[in-house]
Structure 1
Amino acid sequence: MNDTEFHQLVDIQLQTIEEAIDDSGADIDFETTGNVMTLDFEDRSQIIINRQEPMHEIWLASKSGGFHFKLVDGEWTCSKTGLIFFDMVKQECEKHANEDIDWQ
């Protein structure tokens, strides 16, 4: 995968997160600036999602720690937990929001 393909694939992931948050009705604000997406929660906590272009990875930082995701067999997979990126984002959002979120 080249850098352009990497950015296109990550763009799809970030767009999916934005749409899922909007569709869920959860009180989560999000902003993307450059290579970083920030999710802000009511308690002032944050989840930071960062593109790591040199390694072609997505990094996620949250209350639970830091996680690195690499594209494996078409899925962004966590090197630490084996979870799929979008599943981890949903899980961490629920922890930060301190409530179950109705993901569509």
Structure 2
Amino acid sequence: MNDTEFHQLVDIQFTKLEQLIDDSGADIDYDTSGNVMTLEFENRSQIIINRQEPLHEIWLASKSGGFHFKLNDQQWICTKTGKEFIQLIKEECEKQADEEIDWN
């Protein structure tokens, strides 16, 4: 994968995450600036997601710690937990917000 393909694939994940947040109705503000997406919660805590272009990874920092995701069989998989990016971000958002979020 080259850098252009990497950015296109990450853009898809970021757009999907934005849509999930919007559809959930959760009080989560998001902002993307450059290679970094910031999710901010009602309690003022944040989750930071960034693109690590040199490694072709997505990195996520939350209250639970840091997570790195690599593309494996068309899915972004956490190198620490084995969970898929969207699955793990949903779990981390609920921990960060300290409430259950309706992701349907």
Q: TM-score with structure 2 length normalisation?
A: 0.99
2:87 maps to 1:87: yes
| 1:34-81 Cα shifts (integer Å, max 9, x gaps) | 000000001110000000000000000000000000001111000000
Q: Distance in 2 between matches of 1:102 and 1:14?
A: 19
Match of 2:30 in 1: 30
Match of 2:103 in 1: 103
Residue identity matched to 2:90: K
Q: CA deviation at 1:17?
A: 0.5
Residue identity matched to 2:35: N
1:23-102 equivalences in 2 (<5 Å): 23-102=23-102
The 3-state SS of whatever aligns with 1:43 is coil
Give the aligned length: 104
Residue identity matched to 1:82: G
The gaps in structure 1 that reach 5 residues or longer are: none
2:13 maps to 1:18: no
Q: CA deviation at 1:5?
A: 0.3
Residue identity matched to 2:60: L
Cα RMSD, aligned residues only: 0.4
Q: CA deviation at 1:23?
A: 0.2
